[in-house]
Homo-oligomer: A and B are copies of this chain.
């Protein structure tokens, strides 16, 4: 690491902090709401603004690229040298809609400072990361004429829609996006307790429908003589777990990667920090499934299956004495490395379909899946980020295993097969709510952290030779 160039870039960012914030506010004035077709022009305008800024600060080949949905933005700087790694940066420039404008204390697209906080839609999710990374690049390029690593920038505008077109785009543009590592830049930045999610579970979601008689039947006339789809639904769900909590689908655990001793130690450490509050937040006196492992292990390192809803027959007031013609349920399966969501979905489907017989037909609709991902906790990208946190915050981040999903992360890891880490710039709150805000001083701290990270990455990560 060139300490002089690092300090020069940090100094540049510090000297231009007011301008950085003013530009950020300009970006926040663009209502790039991806869910609302009325804002299509705003999305396109926002993409143009980003490309112009990327070119201005010295990135190259900057352009808007059409997809089947909203456009993505691409730019690159690949002059760090063959012996330096290439990092792919991901962030998104679309924002949540304004469901309740009346609940905002200031207009969501008129950025307003109050008590050191900047209020605006998208300031914390995720334009802070979009603009913050560009400002880190600007600081390094302006101060030193170069970046410490090769960089590819990839911004999308459909994250709030579930990123439906990113995976096809990535698959179709693997050469363009190929890199040695990925930085997923979305999420919170908490100086008091920095965290790095290094493991995220994947998901398989499915809907099951059991079809019985062609129309509802009177249970007084046909009860006991016609199979009741509600009973079949119950039989299926009851078959999914044993009393210990173990999922009973054949082959369900086959591809589960066991925890290493090191991962188990990290998990214990994490649980000592977050376990008590997580358990308290559940509001539950007695937990379940202890025979399968510790709470932390069950919710982050093992696959689980939960029915999320069921339906059938009359559920309103009173009783309607019917055998309904159909019934169903919805389920989310959480999977871990090295499970394949498509394979697990198929195992689930076959298990459920085995309940079909001459009295009922069963339909299993496998919905969107997401891949799990896991990174080496001591790998180079995470170590670079840890050193950055040490430099700017005086502490290393806690390594988190997430129980939930981060579909975009799993997709990138699955499609590109490269290590990744996460650095969000979201030093605020209310990301999907009224009065979204970011603490501006901490945003500047996140920019400094990013500058440190890119510099450290040049040292910790060897070029593995697959840049294009």
Residues 302-332 of A contacting B (Cβ, < 8 Å): 302, 304-315, 318-324, 327, 329-330, 332
Stretch from A178-186, A233-241, A408-416 that touches the partner: A233-241
Task: State whether A332 and B286 are in contact (beta carbons under 8 Å apart), knowing that A224-B298, A309-B230, A310-B311 are contacts in the complex.
Answer: no
Q: How far is the CA of A245 from the CA of B238 in the complex (A)?
A: 17
Task: State whether A288 and B359 are in contact (beta carbons under 8 Å apart), knowing that A308-B314, A404-B218 are contacts in the complex.
Answer: yes
Residues of B near A224 (CB, < 8 A) are 245, 288-289, 292, 298-299, 302, 304, 306, 334
Task: State whether A309 and B299 are in contact (beta carbons under 8 Å apart), knowing that A238-B238, A245-B224, A403-B220 are contacts in the complex.
Answer: no
Task: State whether A334 and B219 are in contact (beta carbons under 8 Å apart), knowing that A298-B225, A299-B225, A315-B310 are contacts in the complex.
Answer: yes
Stretch from A37-45, A61-69, A164-172, A209-217 that touches the partner: A209-217
Stretch from A26-34, A107-115, A276-284 that touches the partner: A276-284
Instruction: Evaluate contact between A332 and B213: CB separation under 8 angstroms.
Output: no
Which of B213, B295, B308, B312 sits near A284, CB closer than 8 Å? B213
Q: Does A105 contact B (CB under 8 A)?
A: no
Residues of B near A323 (CB, < 8 A) are 306, 308
Copies per complex of this chain: 2
Instruction: Evaluate contact between B310 and A226: CB separation under 8 angstroms.
Output: no
Closest residue of chain B to A216, judged by CB?
B308
CB distance from A143 to the nearest CB of B (A): 42
Which of B214, B330, B403 sits near A314, CB closer than 8 Å? B330
Task: State whether A287 and B403 are in contact (beta carbons under 8 Å apart), knowing that A306-B323, A313-B308 are contacts in the complex.
Answer: no
Instruction: Evaluate contact between A225 and B314: CB separation under 8 angstroms.
Output: no
Instruction: Evaluate contact between B319 and A332: CB separation under 8 angstroms.
Output: yes
Q: Does A201 contact B (CB under 8 A)?
A: yes
Instruction: Evaluate contact between A299 and B231: CB separation under 8 angstroms.
Output: no
CB distance from A325 to the nearest CB of B (A): 9
CB distance from A279 to the nearest CB of B (A): 9
Q: Does A358 contact B (CB under 8 A)?
A: yes
Q: Does A11 contact B (CB under 8 A)?
A: no
Q: Is the interface of A mostly helix, strand, loop or mixed?
A: mixed
Q: How far is the CA of A207 from the CA of B228 in the complex (A)?
A: 17
Q: How far is the CA of A367 from the CA of B307 in the complex (A)?
A: 28
Q: Does A392 contact B (CB under 8 A)?
A: no
Instruction: Evaluate contact between A315 and B320: CB separation under 8 angstroms.
Output: no
Q: Does A457 contact B (CB under 8 A)?
A: no
Instruction: Evaluate contact between A231 and B241: CB separation under 8 angstroms.
Output: yes
Instruction: Evaluate contact between A304 and B223: CB separation under 8 angstroms.
Output: yes
Interface centre among A205, A218, A304, A310 (most CB of B within 10 A): A310
Residues of B near A299 (CB, < 8 A) are 220-225
Instruction: Evaluate contact between A308 and B327: CB separation under 8 angstroms.
Output: no
Residues of B near A308 (CB, < 8 A) are 219, 230, 313-314, 319-324
Residues of B near A315 (CB, < 8 A) are 309-311, 330
Q: Which 7 A-B pairs have the closest CB atoms?
A: A309-B313, A220-B404, A234-B237, A224-B304, A238-B238, A311-B315, A286-B358
The 28 listed contacts between A and B (C-beta, < 8 Å) are A203-B321, A213-B282, A213-B283, A214-B283, A215-B283, A217-B282, A219-B308, A220-B334, A220-B404, A221-B278, A221-B404, A222-B282, A224-B298, A225-B295, A230-B309, A231-B241, A231-B306, A234-B307, A235-B237, A285-B358, A306-B323, A307-B313, A308-B320, A309-B319, A311-B311, A314-B330, A315-B330, A319-B330
Binding site for B on A (CB under 8 A): 201, 203, 205, 207, 212-215, 217-228, 230-231, 233-241, 245, 278, 282-289, 292, 295, 298-299, 302, 304-315, 318-324, 327, 329-330, 332, 334, 358-359, 367, 402-405
